């Protein structure tokens, strides 16, 4: 008996229910990844994520080879490729992780139909991509399909009994005659960010262990410290599933300190956004709550924001970090998103698209719903809150180190003076190759509050 383990956003061998179950019911398994034309057509394949994906696939292949197997890669429409493989191998079972996006949900339906016609069983596994399966935390009989407010969600989420962590399989037997395409190479991907991190399960596990040993205890106090860079940086690994979020929660809980608890709460935020998207796939594009915004479309301002040339140093620093690393600190994401959607009053979809073109952790659930949260069209309970970039800079980069790191034009300005280059005396100001603020904050604030009905 042959089974197919179809990998999607779960590129690992540790705590991997899809692979474990496929192995359990079969003599041989085909670990399959499809470079999906559907995902490519949807434009969801930015260079940074393609490069990181190549690392993750190489890592997965290596881990399978250590166990006597290998990864089989195919290219095409995912459902056609799985069906073709089932015909080739006579596989009787296909295992896959449950996804949350509209695309993943349609993929599952199409797979179910195609495989039923072939007499092959499809098993969809929960708690692979998220810690708690979307919907599992909703009280039965409550007449709703998701939570819109985080705190009650968190209470329910914390009460869910988690499954135990699964060990990596010892041996994986893959039929020798099954052919695959060559794996993509990271080096072949053009236009990646120069400071892009390396992917793969080994790197993910190393980072988690180091984080739990050295970083997490200070997380509660330091997670908003922009120059301190005191967050886990696990997001790209979690996005590609090179790390199990459930394993991260179990291991963090063993630390039992305030930092670990705060870190687990962030993983609950991740699940929170996933359960919103699972229940409302349309909110990847549509407003979760329509506020009747009359968004502005000033191309010059939008381009200045993208380029990190708004004249607000902390905004520009964060945008340049994004371009350089394909990653941005959460505090940076919050303040640049507020700046675009509330100060410039530009549609969140424009910002979300730009983020997705660069973020190595770019994720439909987390990105779109955090953007909506920041824009006040999403689940935020204070939709008209505006983050003032100056106040944010003084609070989260009090000595200006973050700005000096990312905006070299301002590197000569000492301390917090770096946040207000417009206060410099004429000749000193003139010497800087740095723009004046593109907008007056007080006017922008009044514009936003009066434009939003």
Nearer to ligand FAD, 327 or 434 (CB): 327
Residue placing its CB nearer to ligand FAD in the complex, 178 or 374: 374
d(Cα 199, Cα 197) in Å, to the nearest integer? 7
Q: For ligand FAD, give the closer residue by CB, 21 or 101.
A: 101
Supply the minimum distance, in Å, between the C-beta of residue 4 and ligand FAD.
28
Q: For ligand FAD, which residue of 266, 357, 416, 451 counts as binding (CB under 6 A)?
A: 266
Q: For residue 3, what are the β-bridge partners?
A: 29, 93
Residues 81-120, interacting with ligand FAD (CB under 6 A) = none
Q: How far is the CB of 288 from ligand FAD (least distance, A)?
A: 14
371 vs 434, beta carbon nearer ligand FAD: 371
Pairing label, strands 2-7, 121-125: unpaired
By residue count, the chain amounts to 453
What count of other Cβ atoms lies within 10 Å of the Cβ of residue 78?
Answer: 23
Nearer residue to ligand FAD within complex by CB, 239 or 309: 239
Closer CB to ligand FAD, residue 223 or residue 342? 223
For 270-302, b where at least 16 C-beta lie within 10 A, e where not — what string? bbbbbbbbbbbbebbeebbeeeebeeeeeeebb
Q: Which of 91, 267, 403, 418 binds ligand FAD (CB under 6 A)?
A: 267
Q: CB 384 → ligand FAD: shortest distance, Å?
A: 17
Q: C-beta of 10: minimal distance to ligand FAD in Å?
A: 14
CB of 312 to ligand FAD, least distance (A): 16
CA–CA distance, 315 with 264 (Å, rounded to integer): 28
Q: Which is nearer to ligand FAD, 46 or 172 (CB)?
A: 46
**C-beta closer to ligand FAD: residue 31 or 351:** 351
By CB under 6 A, name the one of 54, 78, 334, 439 that touches ligand FAD: 334
As given in the structure block, the two tokens for residue 244 are: 């199990």
SS3 192: coil
In whole angstroms, the minimum distance from the beta carbon of 76 to ligand FAD comes to: 27
Q: Where are the alpha helices (DSSP H) in 308-347?
A: 313-325, 330-338
Cα–Cα nearest to 46, from 369, 352, 366: 352
Indicate which single residue of 14, 146, 223, 320 sits in contact with ligand FAD (rule: CB under 6 A): 223
- DSSP class of residue 46? -
Residue 277 interacting with ligand FAD (CB under 6 A): no
Least distance to ligand FAD, CB of residue 111, Å: 25
Alpha carbon distances (Å) from 373 to 320, 393, 402: 22, 20, 25
Q: Which of 46, 73, 337, 439 binds ligand FAD (CB under 6 A)?
A: 337
3-state secondary structure of 34: strand
Nearer to ligand FAD, 199 or 421 (CB): 199
- Residue 16 or 235 with smaller CB distance to ligand FAD: 235
Q: How many CB atoms lie within 10 A of CB 357?
A: 17
Q: Which is nearer to ligand FAD, 78 or 267 (CB)?
A: 267
Cβ closer to ligand FAD: 75 or 330?
330
d(CA 334, CA 406): 17
Structure tokens of 342? 């509330």
Let me know: does 276 contact 286? Beta carbons within 8 Å.
no
* Residue 429 structure tokens: 């100001």
CB 237 within 8 A of CB 204: yes
Our separate counts of H helices and E strands in the chain read 20, 5
- How far is residue 377's CA from residue 292's CA, in Å, rounded to a whole number? 9
Q: Mask 231-250, x = binds ligand FAD (CB under 6 A)?
A: xxxxx--xx-----------
Task: Name residues contacting ligand FAD, limited to 150-209 (CB under 6 A).
Answer: none
Q: Is residue 87 packed enough to be buried (19+ CB in 10 Å), middle (13-18) or exposed (0-12)? A: exposed
Q: How many residues contact ligand FAD, by CB under 6 A?
A: 28
The minimum distance between CB 367 and ligand FAD, in angstroms, equals 3
Q: Write down the least CB distance from residue 264 to ligand FAD, Å.
A: 9
* Element holding 41 (H helix, E strand): helix 37-41
Decide if 46 contacts 362 (C-beta within 8 A): yes
User: Which residues in 351-380 contact ligand FAD (CB under 6 A)?
Assistant: 355, 359, 361-363, 366-367, 370-371, 374
Figure out which of the listed residues 50, 270, 309, 320 binds ligand FAD, where binding follows CB under 6 A.
Answer: 270
Asked if 338 and 386 count as a contact pair (C-beta separation under 8 A), the reply is yes
By rule CB under 6 A, what string of x and - marks binding of each residue 391-430 to ligand FAD?
----------------------------------------
Binding region for ligand FAD (CB under 6 A): 223, 231-235, 238-239, 263, 266-267, 269-270, 273, 330, 333-334, 337, 355, 359, 361-363, 366-367, 370-371, 374
């Amino acid at each position: 008996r042959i089974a197919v383990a179809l990998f999607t956003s779960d590129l690992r061998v540790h705590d991997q229910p899809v692979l474990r179950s496929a192995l359990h019911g079969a003599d041989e398994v085909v670990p399959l990844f499809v470079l999906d034309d559907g995902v490519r057509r949807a434009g969801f394949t930015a260079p940074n994520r393609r490069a990181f994906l190549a690392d993750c696939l190489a890592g997965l292949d290596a881990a399978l080879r250590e166990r006597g197997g290998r990864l089989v890669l195919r290219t095409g429409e995912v459902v056609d490729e799985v069906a073709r493989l089932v015909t080739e191998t006579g596989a009787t079972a296909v295992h896959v992780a449950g996804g949350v996006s509209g695309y993943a949900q349609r993929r599952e339906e199409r797979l179910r139909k195609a495989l039923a016609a072939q007499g092959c069983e499809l098993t969809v596994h929960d708690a692979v991509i998220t810690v708690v399966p979307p919907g599992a935390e909703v009280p039965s009989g409550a007449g709703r399909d998701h939570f819109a407010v985080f705190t009650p969600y968190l209470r329910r989420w914390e009460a869910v009994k988690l499954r135990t962590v699964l060990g990596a399989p010892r041996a994986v037997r893959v039929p020798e005659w099954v052919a695959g395409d060559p794996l993509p190479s990271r080096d072949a991907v053009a236009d990646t960010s120069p400071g892009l991190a390396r992917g793969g399960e080994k790197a993910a596990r190393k980072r988690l262990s180091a984080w739990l040993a050295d970083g997490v205890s200070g997380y509660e106090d330091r997670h908003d410290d922009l120059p301190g860079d005191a967050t886990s940086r696990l997001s790209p690994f979690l996005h590609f599933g090179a790390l199990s979020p459930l394993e991260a929660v179990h291991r963090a809980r063993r630390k039992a300190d305030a930092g670990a608890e705060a870190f687990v709460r962030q993983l609950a935020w991740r699940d929170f956004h996933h359960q919103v998207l699972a229940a409302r796939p349309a909110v990847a594009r549509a407003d979760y709550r329509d506020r009747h915004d009359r968004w502005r479309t000033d191309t010059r301002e939008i381009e200045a924001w993208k380029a990190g040339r708004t004249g607000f140093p902390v905004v520009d620093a964060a945008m340049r970090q994004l371009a350089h690393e394909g990653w941005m600190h959460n505090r940076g994401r919050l303040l640049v998103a507020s700046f675009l959607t509330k100060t410039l009053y530009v549609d969140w979809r424009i910002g979300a698209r730009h983020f997705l073109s660069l973020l190595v952790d770019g994720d439909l659930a987390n990105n779109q719903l955090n953007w909506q949260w920041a824009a006040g069209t999403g689940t935020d309970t204070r939709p008209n809150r505006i983050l003032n970039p100056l106040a944010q800079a003084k609070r989260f980069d009090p000595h200006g180190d973050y700005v000096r790191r990312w905006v070299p034009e301002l590197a000569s300005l000492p301390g917090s003076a770096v946040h207000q280059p417009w206060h410099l005396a004429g000749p000193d100001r003139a010497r800087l190759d740095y723009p004046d603020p593109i907008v007056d904050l007080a006017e922008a604030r009044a514009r936003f509050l009066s434009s939003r009905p």
